[in-house]
């Protein structure tokens, strides 16, 4: 959510910066609703002040029959207040409706661009392997090895669900442990294991709601949502809290499954593990001092890259342009891993700085000094990494001509010493 007071004074600037995302009219109606709200608020509060004052006077009058005039007068005042507050509530809701659906302002360092094609490569690491044979795609490799069973996944649930078995299941579990160990032991994150379902307030806090409900799996009665990313429960850990300055940055690493409807992506990545309704992810989340968030995003991105480096998987880092960053993000780096079977780079991690956008929605603050006013923290998060897609990358990059797949050396301790999946 953007700061109302900032918008009041910088509406043109805000609209100009929002326009770089594509689309327009995000803030239509803000000006009128805001001034209407202020007018109603002032009037209502003036009347309440009067009522409070007269009520005190009534309290001081021993003989209530002497107070009848005032009581009758205040009865009218109370009715006016009630009517006014109802109108105010409506205006407030409309205003919130706008504010909650306006995306974040792109950071000044975010490249301006209309779409994915204008993202900017920042750096790359590793060399795509050269094969003396035609590289296969991971679904063929996985099915032939009997470690990925897409047909049975579809039988059990439906499209975009997969059954892992044997070394495949073990590989998924090994990667989760490997990543969590790395981030907690080497990078200083505290491991957390949050609920996989959250309520509406949590989804609103990080920005999935109210605008993107169709992307979520929703439970009825009680109304809970399956998390689309650990970002949601982990960021909301500190919703409504004031953090200690000295505890910043607060850094969490969490493994969770993620559930996404993938509405609107029919026909895209229909085969294989790339786009599933349920997938596993290890997520990194930071609560940072505003002045440090830029540097913390760089560190978090480097932490995610480290996973790929240790697995010896080639990748590149892209700065997403203004037209491609997510709703809540001010700045995003995507890490794209090389997939020989598909002969292209595919996103395996997305690391973003949200500035105070989520913190304002979720009320996550800190005090610079013991006595100073609370300020909003900045939130940062990124995948470290998407586990299913890491399996894809390993299968495709470590495949052999005979169809077997080597296990990356760093992973072998987590695979019971297994060197090769045959």
Partner RNA sequence: GGAGAGAUGGCCGAGUAGGUCGAAGGCGCUCGCCUGCUAAGCGAGUAUACUGGGAAACCGGUAUCGAGGGUUCGAAUCCCUCUCUCUCCGCCA
Site string for RNA, 132-171 (x = CB under 7 A): ----------------------------------------
402 binds RNA (CB under 7 A): no
Site size toward RNA, by CB under 7 A:
31
412 binds RNA (CB under 7 A): no
Collapsed DSSP state (helix, strand, coil) of residue 321: coil
DSSP 399: B
Shortest reach from residue 35's CB to RNA, in Å: 9
Complex with RNA: residue 243 or 284, whichever CB lies closer:
243
Which of 350, 360, 361, 365 is the catalytic position? 350
In the list 32, 46, 122, 188, the residue contacting RNA (rule: CB under 7 A) is: 46
Shortest reach from residue 215's CB to RNA, in Å: 24
Complex with RNA: residue 41 or 410, whichever CB lies closer:
41
Shortest reach from residue 62's CB to RNA, in Å: 10
Q: Tell me if residue 412 is catalytic.
A: no
Token pair for 20: 């770089």
In this structure, are residues 314 and 368 in contact, taking their beta carbons and an 8 Å threshold? no
Q: Tell me if residue 260 is catalytic.
A: yes
What distance in Å separates the CA atoms of residue 337 and residue 389, rounded to the nearest whole number?
Answer: 9
Q: Tell me if residue 15 is catalytic.
A: no
What distance in Å separates the CA atoms of residue 57 and residue 69, rounded to the nearest whole number?
Answer: 12
Q: Which residue stretch of 14-22, 46-54, 116-124, 151-159 sits at the interface with RNA (rule: CB under 7 A)?
A: 46-54
In the list 19, 24, 38, 156, the residue contacting RNA (rule: CB under 7 A) is: 38
What distance in Å separates the CA atoms of residue 111 and residue 129, rounded to the nearest whole number?
Answer: 31
Q: Which residue stretch of 40-48, 99-107, 143-151, 343-351 sits at the interface with RNA (rule: CB under 7 A)?
A: 40-48
62 binds RNA (CB under 7 A): no
**Antiparallel, parallel or unpaired: β 148-149 and 163-164:** antiparallel
Shortest reach from residue 9's CB to RNA, in Å: 11
Q: Which of 360, 372, 213, 381 is nearest to 293 (CA)?
A: 381
Residues near 392 by beta carbon (within 8 Å), at least 6 away in sequence: 138, 272, 273, 274, 339, 346
In DSSP terms, 287 is beta-bridged to: 250, 379
Residue 233: what are its φ and ψ, rounded to 5°? -65, -35
Token pair for 391: 């399996």
In this structure, are residues 285 and 251 in contact, taking their beta carbons and an 8 Å threshold? yes
What distance in Å separates the CA atoms of residue 344 and residue 353, rounded to the nearest whole number?
Answer: 26
64 binds RNA (CB under 7 A): yes
CA angle 404, 408, 411 (to 5 degrees): 120
In the list 27, 58, 163, 192, the residue contacting RNA (rule: CB under 7 A) is: 58
In the list 42, 155, 244, 420, the residue contacting RNA (rule: CB under 7 A) is: 42
Q: Tell me if residue 346 is catalytic.
A: no
Token pair for 196: 């996989």
What distance in Å separates the CA atoms of residue 381 and residue 383, rounded to the nearest whole number?
Answer: 7
Shortest reach from residue 240's CB to RNA, in Å: 10
What distance in Å separates the CA atoms of residue 318 and residue 37, rounded to the nearest whole number?
Answer: 42
Complex with RNA: residue 57 or 185, whichever CB lies closer:
57
In the list 51, 173, 239, 261, the residue contacting RNA (rule: CB under 7 A) is: 51
Q: Tell me if residue 283 is catalytic.
A: no
4 binds RNA (CB under 7 A): yes
Site string for RNA, 362-381 (x = CB under 7 A): ---x----xx-xx-------
66 binds RNA (CB under 7 A): no
What distance in Å separates the CA atoms of residue 237 and residue 194, rounded to the nearest whole number?
Answer: 9
In the list 26, 27, 43, 55, the residue contacting RNA (rule: CB under 7 A) is: 55
Shortest reach from residue 238's CB to RNA, in Å: 14
Strand order in the sheet with 378-386: 120-125, 315-319, 331-339, 344-353, 378-386, 278-288, 250-259, 190-192
Residue 266: what are its φ and ψ, rounded to 5°? -60, 135
| Interface residue list for RNA (CB under 7 A) | 4-5, 38, 41-42, 45-46, 48-49, 51-56, 58-59, 64, 70-71, 74-75, 78, 82, 89, 222, 365, 370-371, 373-374
Residues classed as catalytic: 260, 275, 347, 350, 389
């Amino acid at each position: 959510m953007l700061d109302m007071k900032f918008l009041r004074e910088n509406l043109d600037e805000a609209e100009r910066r929002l326009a770089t995302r594509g689309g327009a009219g995000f803030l239509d109606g803000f000006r009128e609703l805001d001034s209407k709200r202020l007018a109603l608020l002032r009037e209502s509060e003036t009347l309440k002040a009067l009522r409070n004052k007269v009520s005190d006077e009534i309290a001081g009058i021993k003989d209530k029959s002497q107070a009848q005039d005032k009581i009758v007068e205040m009865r009218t005042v109370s009715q006016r207040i009630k009517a006014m507050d109802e109108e105010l509530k409506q205006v407030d809701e409309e205003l919130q409706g706008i504010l909650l659906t306006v995306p974040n302002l792109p950071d000044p360092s975010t490249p301006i661009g209309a779409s994915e094609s204008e993202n900017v490569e920042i750096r790359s690491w590793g060399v795509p392997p050269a094969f003396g044979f035609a590289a296969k795609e991971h679904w063929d490799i996985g099915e032939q090895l009997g470690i990925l069973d897409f047909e049975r996944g579809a039988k059990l649930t439906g499209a975009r669900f997969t059954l892992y078995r044997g070394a495949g299941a073990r590989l998924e579990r090994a990667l989760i442990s490997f990543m969590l160990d790395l981030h907690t032991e080497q990078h200083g994150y505290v491991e957390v294991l949050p609920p996989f379902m959250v309520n509406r307030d949590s989804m609103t806090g990080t920005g999935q709601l109210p605008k993107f409900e169709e992307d979520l799996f929703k439970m009825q009665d009680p109304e809970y949502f399956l998390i689309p990313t650990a970002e949601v429960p982990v960021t909301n850990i500190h919703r409504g809290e004031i953090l200690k300055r000295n505890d910043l940055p607060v850094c969490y690493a969490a493994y969770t499954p993620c559930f996404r409807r993938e509405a609107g992506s029919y026909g895209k990545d229909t085969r294989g593990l790339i786009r599933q309704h349920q997938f596993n992810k290890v997520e990194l989340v930071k609560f940072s001092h505003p002045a440090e968030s830029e540097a913390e995003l760089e560190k978090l991105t480097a932490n995610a890259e480290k996973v790929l480096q240790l697995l010896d998987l080639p990748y590149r880092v892209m700065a997403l342009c203004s037209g491609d960053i997510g709703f809540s993000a001010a700045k995003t780096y995507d890490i794209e891993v090389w997939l020989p079977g598909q002969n292209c780079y595919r996103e395996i991690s997305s690391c973003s700085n949200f500035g105070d956008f989520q913190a304002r929605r979720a009320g996550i603050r800190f005090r610079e000094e013991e006595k100073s006013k609370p300020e909003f923290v900045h939130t940062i998060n990124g995948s470290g990494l998407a586990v299913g897609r890491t399996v894809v990358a390993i299968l495709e990059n470590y495949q052999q001509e005979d169809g077997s797949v080597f296990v990356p050396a760093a992973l072998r301790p987590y695979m019971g010493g297994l060197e090769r999946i045959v």
